[in-house]
Amino acid sequence: MDNNKLSSDQNIFMENLYWWGIPTLFRCPHDEDLEQCDIGLVGVPHSTGNGTTERDQHLAPRSLRNVSGCYRRAHGKFGITPWELCRINDLGDVLMPHAMVNDITVKDIEAYYKRLDQAGVRPVSIGGDHSITGPILKAIAGPEAKLTGGQPAALIHFDAHTDTMHHLPHWLGAERSAAHWGSYVATEGNVDPRKSIQLGLRGHTRTLNWKKTSAELGYGVIDIDEFRELGVQKTVAAIRQRVGDTPAYITFDLDCLDPSVAPAVANLEPGVSGFSIDEAVGLLQGLRGLNIIGADVVCMVPSKDSPNQITALTSTAVMFEQISLIADTLASNT
């Protein structure tokens, strides 16, 4: 039998074996041609924006390429197959020749995503620590951005922490760090905090006023206690009311999840339950129909994952929901 002439059924079977073939994100073509792409899957292997805990977050893109090949192809609830609705390619990783120096690297990240913005490509990225979200938003949202039509984006921010520490001059030397990005994208006009919301904040904090900076900037906040009172449906309604028809970006820090389903993350918050995967997926699916211009998943530490790679698989599930939301939006607009 000629292995180059497998039937379509055989090809589908082989492509769902994570250990077979050349790994790409979700088995998408590896094609860096932005003219042939609607949704660009991007690895951002960056770890120097958050030096307080684990440093191996740069290994996450490789981990996702390894496991995502065996993930589902169709979205059962939406009734779509995102790969058939638009052109989705693995664009590879952002080049980072100064990877050990955060405040140079964030400029390289921003320059990379400006190319995607000008080509009209909506990015879905796997980090990397949470400092990557700042330069991505600097590139694809705000006055010169094509994807938002020159306006600030609404930010839908899943996290256990605020990341809005504008009163700190630097974070262990990094000025545009994982602790600062939520502040500077608001003050510099890339995000409209009045249209934005932070979800799942929790934990025993260093100070009692730890949410003050988010309030000062104008972000809406639904912390984990309020979420428990509201539930998924009412929280979705609150998000949608706040965002409205503003172009929106989703950033998903895995530490918003309970450590039982995502143990390999950089800033674990044990002692206070985080989102279950069903709750997180329910919130994401509730965003269907919003104009999502891009998304990311951040803060996975593959070297700390369990042998069955549960955090990588959970990250894959979150990323699939983000891809499906954007693919559904693009299909609806054609």
Q: What is the pTM of this model?
A: 0.94
Which of 53, 52, 40 minimizes the C-alpha distance to 94? Answer: 40
Flag whether pLDDT at 1 surpasses 50. Answer: no
What pLDDT shows up at residue 6?
Answer: 55
d(CA 333, CA 120): 14
Mean pLDDT of 131-158: 97
Mean pLDDT of 48-75: 88
Cα-atom radius of gyration of the chain, to the nearest Å? 19
What pLDDT shows up at residue 166?
Answer: 75
Flag whether pLDDT at 168 surpasses 90. Answer: no
- How buried is residue 228: exposed, middle or buried, by Cβ count under 10 Å (0-12/13-18/19+)? exposed
How does residue 37 score in pLDDT terms, banded at 50, 70 and 90?
very high
The CA-atom distances, in angstroms, between 299 and each of 57, 232, 239, 251, 270 are 6, 24, 23, 11, 16
What mean pLDDT is reported for the chain? 92
What pLDDT shows up at residue 86?
Answer: 97
Q: What is the pLDDT of residues 173-209, one digit of tens each?
A: 676 777 789 999 999 999 999 999 999 999 877 778 8
Q: Helix (H) and strand (E) counts for the chain?
A: 10, 8
Mean pLDDT of 230-246: 98
Flag whether pLDDT at 13 surpasses 80. Answer: no
Lowest-confidence segment of 109-118, 159-168, 302-311 by average pLDDT: 159-168
Q: Domains in the chain, please, with CATH?
A: 37-332 (3.40.800.10)
Q: 65 versus 207: which is more confidently predicted?
A: 65
Q: 5 versus 30: which is more confidently predicted?
A: 30
